[in-house]
């Protein structure tokens, strides 16, 4: 039992650690967000806790411990005939005939079941309560097993989705991203999305807030805030006034004829003044305060490196290119677990609660009465013992 409690504590601690530290992100995520701890995270595998050797070892030892405890308790309870064992006990209370009659009436009033063996009457109540600890250990074992199985066997897919767009999975499930922000109103890093999950049967979550360590789930699916990105946005208008809007990233080429247009090099957070002059800011942390587009202008067989800021316009090849504010978008991790596994996990949790209820609400009691007196056995019959003592022993009653 002591070993099992220690292992449960270690299991809970390791699981909590895996919840506090986002799992299975790219290496630069930990370098950027845990500058003082990332070396320890990589050294001890804290970026993939649920598949690390120490987590597997703890789970294996815990399941083995619970299995052995369950086997021992099952053999003890199933092989124990409470009534037959009680019939072998000697009566240790010796009231007179009137006291014996009062004791028997006491057990009948408490709705105890009576079994007659020879000249002995065995009164029992809540005999099923002996199975309580077995059900608790079995419930914990199955809960841990199915929980770990759910962590290690789901379908996982990582996607990027721009605000206002949606992604449709292979079974028809649609995940819609309404908005995303890297910072909140105060400028504090927040990484929050507003998403809606719609299942093929029509069920949906409605717009729900999604942030790191606060996933949104529905049915078999659970969506996590995995990473984020910032992309450029350029609107293109032709001579007739028709306009299209494009989300652009590095190496995208906006051109009508494949020759004249703009080739995106990259989008940078801003410019900074140094001793050498003005340079591009290349480090990324949070939103882009003063974004700068770096691109190549392609026309007449030549190319020119240029910079542009949101609000700038450029005309070439009969089209007007307008550089807009960048678009921040989330990288989502989508997990799909087996519905059968979820029901099994729910069933094992209910079994655990049943065991707790049986243990604390159905304390087994067994009493033996014969012509010489009575005795109590099984469970915790202290309350019965005090009541019977006051009822059947005249000197105690008088006192």
Whether 82 and 379 have beta carbons less than 8 Å apart is answered as: no
Query: What values do phi and psi take at 390, rounded to 5?
Result: -65, -30
pLDDT band for 296, please (50, 70, 90 cuts): very high
Question: Residue 282: which pLDDT band, with cuts at 50, 70 and 90?
Answer: confident
Please answer whether residues 268 and 294 qualify as being in contact, where contact means their C-beta atoms are separated by less than 8 angstroms. Answer: yes
- From 291, 297, 296, select the one nearest 325 (Cα to Cα): 291
Question: What distances in angstroms separate CA 152 from CA 38, 52, 56, one per listed residue?
Answer: 24, 11, 10
Distances (CA, A) of 6 to 22, 132, 138: 25, 21, 17
Selection from 186-195, 270-279, 288-297, 329-338 with the highest mean pLDDT: 288-297
368 in Cβ contact with 87 (< 8 Å): yes
pLDDT at 99: 84
Please tell me the predicted confidence (pLDDT) of residue 91: 78
* pLDDT (tens digit per residue) in 15-32: 888 888 877 777 777 887
Contacts of residue 154, Cβ cutoff 8 Å, sequence gap at least 6: 335, 336, 337, 338
* Contact of 135 with 74, CB cutoff 8 Å: no
The confidence score (pLDDT) of residue 182 equals 87
Q: What are the φ and ψ backbone dihedral angles of 381, each rounded to 5 degrees?
A: -90, 30
Confidence at residue 386, expressed as pLDDT on a 0 to 100 scale: 66
**What DSSP line would sit under 228-287, residue for residue?**
EEEEEEEEEE-TTS-EEEEEE-TT-EEESSSSSEEEEEEEESEEEEETTEEEEE----SS
Distance CA 358, CA 85 (A): 22
Say whether pLDDT at 392 is over 80: no
Q: Positive or negative, the Cα torsion across 217, 222, 226, 230?
A: negative
Averaged over 97-108, what is the pLDDT?
A: 85
Average pLDDT of the residues in 175-195: 87
Domains of the chain: 2-76+133-152 (no CATH), 89-126+363-398 (3.30.920), 155-229+332-347 (no CATH), 230-329 (2.60.200)
Tens digits of per-residue pLDDT, 137-159? 899 889 888 888 877 666 788 88
CB atoms within 10 A of CB 350: 12
Q: Name the average pLDDT for the chain.
A: 85
- Residue 109: CB atoms within 10 A of its CB come to 8
387 or 167, higher pLDDT: 167
Write out pLDDT tens, residues 192-201. 999 999 999 9
């Amino acid at each position: 039992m002591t070993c099992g409690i220690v292992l449960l504590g270690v299991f809970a601690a390791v699981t909590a650690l895996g919840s506090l530290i986002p799992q299975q992100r790219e290496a630069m995520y930990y370098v950027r967000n845990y500058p003082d701890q990332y070396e320890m995270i990589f050294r001890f595998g804290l970026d993939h806790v649920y598949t690390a050797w120490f987590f597997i070892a703890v789970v294996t030892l815990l399941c083995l411990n619970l299995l052995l405890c369950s086997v021992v308790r099952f053999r003890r309870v199933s092989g124990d005939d409470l009534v037959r064992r009680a019939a072998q006990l000697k009566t240790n209370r010796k009231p007179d005939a009137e006291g014996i009659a009062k004791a028997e009436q006491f057990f009948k009033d408490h709705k105890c079941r009576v079994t007659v063996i020879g000249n002995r009457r065995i009164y029992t109540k809540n005999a099923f309560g002996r199975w309580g600890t077995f059900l608790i250990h079995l419930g914990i074992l199955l809960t841990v097993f199915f929980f770990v199985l759910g962590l290690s066997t789901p379908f996982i897919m990582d996607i990027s989705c721009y605000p206002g767009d949606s992604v449709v999975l292979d079974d028809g499930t649609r995940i819609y991203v309404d908005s995303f922000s890297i910072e909140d109103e105060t400028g504090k890093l927040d990484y929050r999305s507003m998403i809606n999950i719609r299942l093929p049967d029509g069920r949906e979550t409605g717009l729900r807030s999604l942030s790191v360590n606060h996933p949104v789930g529905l049915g078999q699916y659970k969506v996590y805030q995995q990473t984020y990105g910032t992309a450029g946005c350029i609107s293109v208008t032709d001579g007739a006034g028709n306009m299209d809007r494009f989300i652009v990233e590095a190496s995208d080429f906006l051109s009508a004829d494949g020759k004249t247009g703009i080739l995106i090099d990259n989008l940078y957070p801003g410019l900074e003044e140094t001793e050498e002059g003005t340079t591009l800011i290349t480090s990324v942390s949070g939103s882009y305060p003063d974004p700068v587009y770096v691109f190549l202008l392609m026309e007449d067989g030549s190319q020119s490196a240029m910079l542009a800021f949101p609000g700038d316009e450029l005309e070439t090849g009969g089209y007007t290119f307008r550089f807009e504010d960048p678009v921040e978008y989330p990288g989502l991790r989508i997990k799909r677990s087996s519905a059968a596994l979820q029901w099994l996990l729910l069933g094992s949790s209910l079994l655990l609660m049943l065991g707790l209820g049986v243990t604390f609400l159905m304390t087994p009691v067994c009493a033996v009465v014969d012509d010489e007196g009575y005795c109590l056995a099984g469970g915790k019959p202290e309350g019965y013992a005090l009541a019977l003592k006051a009822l059947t022993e005249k000197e105690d009653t008088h006192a």
